[in-house]
Amino acid sequence: MALAHEATDLLQRLIRFNTVNPPGNERPAQEMLHAELERAGFECELVGATGERPNLIARLRGHEDGPKLCYLSHVDTVLADPAEWTVDPWSGEIRDGYLWGRGALDMKGQVACEVAAACALGRAGWRPARGELLVVVTCDEEAGATYGAQWLCENVPDKVRCDMVVNEGAGEAIEFRGRRLYTLCVGEKGVFRFRLATEGRAGHASMPGIGDNALLRMVEVLARLDGRQPPLDSYPAGVESLEALTGEPVVDVSEAVARVLGAEPRLRDHLESMMRVTLSPTMIRASEKENVIPSRCTVRVDCRVPPGMGDEHVRTRVQDLLGPAETSGYTLEFSEEIVGNSSPLDTQLAGHLREFVRRQDPEAGLMPLVLTGFTDSHWFRKAFPECVAYGFFPQRVMSRFDTLPLIHAPDERIALDDIEFASRFFNELAPSVLG
Ligand SMILES: [Zn+2]
């Protein structure tokens, strides 16, 4: 229980540093973690693009060369409006078996469990038989990672180069057909945001017939998206996820999804988004003046794409819904093209996670999934193509259906028993992987 107490205390201290990003202001929190890890025997450094927003890299070298395992996390959070909270979001208050505060789940809770577990190993004199244990705590994850993981991977790759990453993204259990499955994030969808445009002819708004209103042309185009999304896609990581749920090979993706949703309708939003290109129009712009009929209207569409699929696939899916651009009254221009990535499931690291889960819970298994958003893991997969990166922060008091509504929301909190559970996981993982 000493480890759980240490992790709980560390989490309270972390929550009391306000690291709402922007502006982040991560330095004081990073200095505190730096001091803890250094005391436990880690070689530590703070590095970053600016002095106020450093990243922490802590390293425990083994007796011989070998694989590098990285515990990855971020210490910044999204904002919190105290008026909407039951407790002060920066209090770290313990109430009813939970520790409350902004970041308790996303993701200071995991920072605290990883750092407390690593410190306990270091203080006890453990060193990897081969390889290295790295603890990397980034800044700026919530606002795009420009100063955080992206900066590290692009500017000082040798300092963070690793073979295995355990990061955020999943880990909470769900009950599915009477069996407990721990979610495991193996990948993240890509982002292919684009701009749709329609053209018309400007004119004085007092005489509607004098122009050709591009905004009304856009209404026709957008109506084709109302209530419709592209068909489901078959891709390896998605199929593995469905197979973990159905327990058998997937022949037809739509049929497999329907079967899963028949057993657990609460998976609908996630599964239906995970298994296809998704299109969400979010911003519209037309005339700059109330009395001018717009000659041009643009809409920004947030588009998320399964790992490995690129712009050609997106164009095909969009055309299926909107018709070909040349003859259907619109143009399409990409503003962001990030191909999603994933790590395979048949790895030694996954074997160690599965082992841990079975030790706790002999009947339990893993449920791999692909996130619809993305985490710092994708910077590591991109920079180090051989690196296996998973999102795994095991929790079982709170299920994934309990945690998701609290992330980036009021009254974010973590169960004290889950802090104990997860810190034990990180404490056992490094010796089982590195010897
Ligand atoms: Zn996060």
The predicted pLDDT at position 27 comes to 98
d(CA 149, CA 380): 8
| Catalytic entry in 26, 36, 76, 142 | 76
Order of strands, sheet of 98-100, starting from the edge strand that comes earlier in the sequence: 94-95, 98-100, 413-415
CA–centroid distance, 110 to ligand 1, in Å, is: 10
The pLDDT tens digits of the residues spanning 179-222 come to 999 999 999 999 999 999 999 999 999 999 999 999 999 999 99
Cβ contact 76:141 at 8 Å: yes
Q: Is 76 annotated in the active site?
A: yes
Instruction: Provide the whole-model pTM.
Output: 0.94
Query: Which residues line ion ligand 1, judged by CB < 5 Å?
Result: 106-107, 168
Question: Tell me, what's the pLDDT at 414?
Answer: 98
The low-confidence residues of the chain, meaning pLDDT below 70, are 1
User: Which stretch of DSSP H or E encloses residue 338?
Assistant: none
Looking up tokens 């425990």 gives: 60
Which pLDDT score, from 0 to 100, does residue 54 have?
98
What distance in angstroms lies between residue 365's CA and the mean position of ligand 1's atoms?
Answer: 24
Phi first, then psi: give them for residue 57, nearest 5 degrees. Answer: -120, 120
Contact between 185 and 169 (Cβ < 8 Å): yes
Q: Which of 31, 30, 57, 29 is nearest to 43 (CA)?
A: 57
* Residue 1 confidence (pLDDT): 66
User: Is 168 a known active-site residue?
Assistant: no
Which residue is catalytic, options 132, 141, 376, 420?
A: 141
DSSP state letters, 113-143: HHHHHHHHHHHTT---SEEEEEEEEES-TTT
pLDDT of residue 352: 98
Ligand 1 centroid from CA 377, angstroms: 11
pLDDT of residue 263: 96
* Ligand 1 centroid to residue 393 C-alpha, Å: 11
Q: Please tell me the distance between residue 187's alpha carbon and the centre of ligand 1 in angstroms.
A: 15
- Alpha carbon of 289 to ligand 1 centroid (Å): 40
